[in-house]
Structure 1
Amino acid sequence: MEVTVEPTGASPVEDSQISEMVDFLMAKADSIGVLLAKRYREEIVEYRSLPEGFIEQDVAPTARHNLETMLLGLSHDATITNEHLDRFRESAVRRFRQGVPIQALLHAYRLWGHTVWDQVQMAPQVADYPEGALRIAGKIMQHVDYVSAAVTEAYLDEASGMIHDREKGRRDFLEALIAGNQPGRIATHAKHFNLKVDGSYFVVLVRRRPGRQNTSISMRVCLETVQKSISGTQAKVGLAGARDEEVVAIVEAIRGTPLDSRDQLDRLASSLPEFSVTVGRLREGLPSVAQGYVDAQNATSFAVLNKTPRAYLFSDTLLDQIARSSPFRHDLAGDTTDLIAACDAKRGSGLLETIRAYVDCGFKLVQTAEILRVQPNTVKYRLNRIAQVTGHDPLQVQGMTLFTLALRIPPGPDSA
C-alpha cells in the first residue's frame, strides 16, 4: 500500500505555520512517546499485562515512530509507503504473539490519535492559525485509518497462519496417536499439547449414525460439545479432533476409570442423539492410545444397534466381543439357540423369546413374566423345556453363561 499526500494549495505563510507546528511536535516526539506509553498502561488492560519494561522498550518507540511517520506525511511531496508501514505490521505480529487481542491493538491506535491531537492543540501557532490545527487533525485521522488497516491485515494474517499451523499440528499428532506406530514422535510432541507421555488415557469415539449425514448437528458443533462435556475432576479432554464423520477425544483420566465418568459420558450421548458414543478401555501411556481407539471402534457396532442414547464402554460389549470372536461360536449356537429356534418353528412354543427376556432381566423369573405377560410358573416351565431341548439348564450358572453368550452371536454362518 502506498499513500500519496496531495498538495493542499495553501499559501507560503500557511505552509510556514504548518511547518512550525510540525517542528513543535517533532521536538516533543520523545515525551509524546512516553506519554502514550503511560496512557496505554492506564487505559488498556491487556497492555498492563505485558512484561515489565516492555511498554517503554517496544510500545513507546513504536508510538514515537508512528508520530514521526505522520509528521513526515505532512510535507507536500512526501508519501507514506509500504516501508513506512512495515514497522507497524511487525509490531502487530508481535502483539499477536504476546497475546494482545486485536481490539486492544486498535484501541491503542485510536488512543494514539486522541493523544497526538491533544498535543497539537498545545502548539503556540494554533492561536494565530487554528485552521492549521484542523488540517493536522485531518491528517491524524487519515493516518490512524491507514495504519489501523495495515496492522489489522498483518495481525489477522499472522493469526490465520498460526491457527492453521496449530490446527495442522494437532490433526497430525492425533493421527499419530491413533496409528500408534510413531512412539518417538509421540514423546517429542506430547509436551506441546500438555500431555503426559506416561499418563492414563481412554478414547471416546463419537461417530455419526448410519443414514444421519444430513442432520442438524455439524461435526464442528459435535467436536465443541465433546470438548465442553468431558471435563471435571474425574477426567478431561487432552486432545480432540474431527475425522470425516467421527470425533476422536483422547481423555486423560485424572482419577478413576471410564466407569467413573459414565454419568458424564451418558449425558454427552444424550446431547448428541444423532451420534453413537463409545469408550475404550483405560490405557497407560500415550503410545497405547492406539489400542484404546481400537477398543472404542470395536464397540461402535453395538452402540449403533441400540437406539437408546447412552455411552457404550468397551466393558459393556465385552461379552459380545467374546461371542463374536470365538472359534466355537457356531458350535455354541448349534447346541443352544439353533435348537430352541427349531423347536419354536415346529411347536410355536415361544422358547427363544422366553430365554432372551430371561437373560435381559438378569435371570429373574418375576420380571421375565411381567415382560412376557405370563405367570412366573409359565416362565419356569418354558425354561425347564429349554433344558430338555438343549441339554443346558438356564436355571444353573453354566447354562446361564452359555445362553448369555449364545444370544450375543449374530445370525448367519459367516458372522464374525
Structure 2
Amino acid sequence: MTDSGRQADKSGDWSLIEALGRDIEINPSVLIKPIVDEARAAHAEAYARTSWAEHEASVRRQFRLLLKQLAQRHPPTLDDLDWARALGRTRARQGLPLEAVLGAFHHGYRGFWELVASRAESGALSRETVDLLMASLQMTSAAIANGYTDVARARDELQIDLGHQLLDALYGGRTVAEETTMLARALGFDNDGMFQAASCLVALMAPELIDQLRWRLRDHGGAQCVVVRGPMLVVLSQGIPERRIVQLLDSGDGRLAVGLGLPRSGLGGATESLLDAERALAVAQQSPEGGIVSFRSSWLLATLLPHAERLGPLLDAGKATNQPHLYEAVRAYADHGFSIAATAEALHLHPNSVKYRLDRWQQLTGWDPRTLEGAQRSLLSIALAERQPPPASATT
C-alpha cells in the first residue's frame, strides 16, 4: 500500500471506527448498556428468559465483530457467521420467538450505526461504510435465522412425534398410564390442569398454515400440540384462550368447519374434550355454512347426530320439514318463549297465521310443539334435517 493509501486508511470513517473500538473496550457499560436496555424493553416478554449479562455479552461480541469487519473492510467471515448461527441456536433453545431475536439484533445494529454516525463530523457515513454495514446486517441476520430454524425444526419434529404418541394414548384409553403422563409433561402440559381440544378438516388447510398455527400458538404461551390424524387436524391446548384458538383456526373464507371441545380437567378430561371436538366438527360439517361450532352451545345436536340413523323413526317429520314456513314458525315459537304474540311479531305475521302453522305442523307430524315432548321432537327433527346432505338429483 502507498503512503497516500495508508493515510487514507486513517481518515474519515476509519479513524472514527478505531476510536469507537477503543472506547468500547475501555468503558463498555456507557456505550452498550443503553442499547441493551432499549432492546430488552422493546422485547421485554421474550428477553425475560435471558439474563441481562448474557445479552450484554452478545451485544459486545456483535460490536467487536462489526468493528473488525469495518476496520478490515470486508463482510462477515465464516467464523463470524458461525457465531451468528450459534447465537440463533441458543435463542431457539431458550424459547425466544425468532421475531424478537432478530428485532433485538437489528436494534444492536441501529445502536452501533448511531454511535458511529454521531462521531462523524458531517453526521453522515461514507458509502463504503454504509455498504459494509448493510452487507453485514443481511448476512448475519440470515445466519441467525438459519441457526434458529435448525433447532426449531428439530424441536417441531420432536413435538409433533410426542403429540402423536400422546393422542394415540388418549384415544386408546390409556389416560392413567405412566407413559401417558410422561408424554403430557414432555409437551409442557399440567396433567391436572384444564385441557381443550379443537378439530377441523386438514384438507381445507394449506400445510404452511398448519406450521404457522403451531408457531403462533407457541408464541402465545401455554402448552399445545397440533397433530394431523387421518382427515382431521387436532389441537389440544392448555392455558390458551379459546378465542385465540378460534381466531387462528378461522380462515375467514367461510369454507373451514371447526369443532371446539369443552374445557375439561385432567388427562381423562382431555380425552373427553377430544371427543367433544369431533362431535362438534360433525355438526359444523353438516351445516351448509360451516363455521365454528362449540360443543358447549351445540352439545345436544352434537351428541345425537352420530345416532341420527338409529333415531330416524323417532324424529322423522316427513314432508313437514320440506315446508320452511312451517318449521320456521315452530323454531321461532320456541325461540320466543312459546308465545304466539312474540312469534307473530318476530315473523311479521298475524297471530292467527302462527296458530295455523303450528296446527298444520302437528297435523303432518303428530307432534304438538306446544308441549315439551312435541317441542323437543320438532326442534331436533328440524336441526337434523337441516344438516342432512340434499338428495342427489335423479339422472336419466
Task: Say whether residues 1:46 and 2:39 are aligned partners.
Answer: yes
2:261 to 263, 280, 296: 280
Aligned partners of 1:238, 1:371: CA distance in 2, in Å? 55
Task: Say whether residues 1:105 and 2:98 are aligned partners.
Answer: no
Residue 168 (structure 1) shift: 3.3
Aligned partners of 1:265, 1:141: CA distance in 2, in Å? 45
Aligned partners of 2:305, 2:113: CA distance in 1, in Å? 76
Q: Secondary structure at the match of 1:101?
A: helix
Task: Say whether residues 1:325 and 2:325 are aligned partners.
Answer: no
Alignment of 1:14-413 (within 5 A): 31-44=23-36, 45-46=38-39, 51-54=51-54, 59-60=59-60, 63-64=63-64, 67=67, 73=72, 82-83=78-79, 86-87=82-83, 90=86, 101-106=101-106, 108-109=108-109, 112=112, 144=133, 147-148=136-137, 150-179=139-168, 180=170, 181=172, 187-188=181-182, 190=184, 195-207=189-201, 220=209, 239=224, 241=226, 243=228, 248-250=234-236, 252=238, 271=252, 273-286=254-267, 288-307=269-288, 311-314=292-295, 316-319=298-301, 321-322=303-304, 325=307, 329=311, 332-333=313-314, 337=316, 341=318, 360=331, 361-362=333-334, 364=338, 366=340, 367=343, 374=353, 376=355, 379-380=358-359, 383=362, 387=366, 397-398=372-373
Q: Residue deviations 1:243-263, cap 9 Å, x none?
A: 5986544354899xx9xx8xx
Residue 157 (structure 1) shift: 0.7
Residue 218 (structure 1) shift: 9.7
The amino acid that maps onto 1:39 is L
2:32/2:56 contact within 8 Å kept: no
1:70/1:143 contact within 8 Å kept: yes
The amino acid that maps onto 2:78 is N
The amino acid that maps onto 1:280 is G
The amino acid that maps onto 2:264 is R
Taking structure 2 as the reference length, the TM-score comes to: 0.58
Q: 1:359 to 1:293 in 2, by over 3 A?
A: farther
2:89/2:150 contact within 8 Å kept: no
Residue 281 (structure 1) shift: 3.4
* Unaligned runs of at least 5 residues, structure 2: 42-46, 390-396
Fraction of identical pairs, as percent: 13
Q: Residue deviations 1:187-243, cap 9 Å, x none?
A: 4455566542212233233448x9xx69xx99839976xx79xx9xxxx98537485
2:199/2:259 contact within 8 Å kept: yes
Aligned partners of 1:79, 1:280: CA distance in 2, in Å? 54
Number of residue pairs aligned between Structure 1 and Structure 2: 349
Aligned partners of 1:328, 1:118: CA distance in 2, in Å? 81
Q: 1:194 to 1:272 in 2, by over 3 A?
A: farther
Aligned partners of 1:351, 1:88: CA distance in 2, in Å? 67
Aligned partners of 1:298, 1:155: CA distance in 2, in Å? 44
Q: Residue deviations 1:266-285, cap 9 Å, x none?
A: 9x979553222322234222
Q: Residue deviations 1:292-315, cap 9 Å, x none?
A: 223222233332333456643336
Taking structure 1 as the reference length, the TM-score comes to: 0.56
Aligned partners of 1:275, 1:80: CA distance in 2, in Å? 47
Residue 155 (structure 1) shift: 0.6
The amino acid that maps onto 1:168 is E
Q: 1:61 to 1:140 in 2, by over 3 A?
A: same
Q: Residue deviations 1:69-101, cap 9 Å, x none?
A: 766x48xxx999634664565456557767563
Aligned partners of 2:364, 2:357: CA distance in 1, in Å? 10
2:255/2:291 contact within 8 Å kept: no
RMSD of aligned alpha carbons? 6.0
The amino acid that maps onto 1:102 is L
1:201/1:250 contact within 8 Å kept: yes
Residue 154 (structure 1) shift: 2.0
* Unaligned runs of at least 5 residues, structure 1: 1-7, 122-136, 345-349
1:205/1:249 contact within 8 Å kept: yes
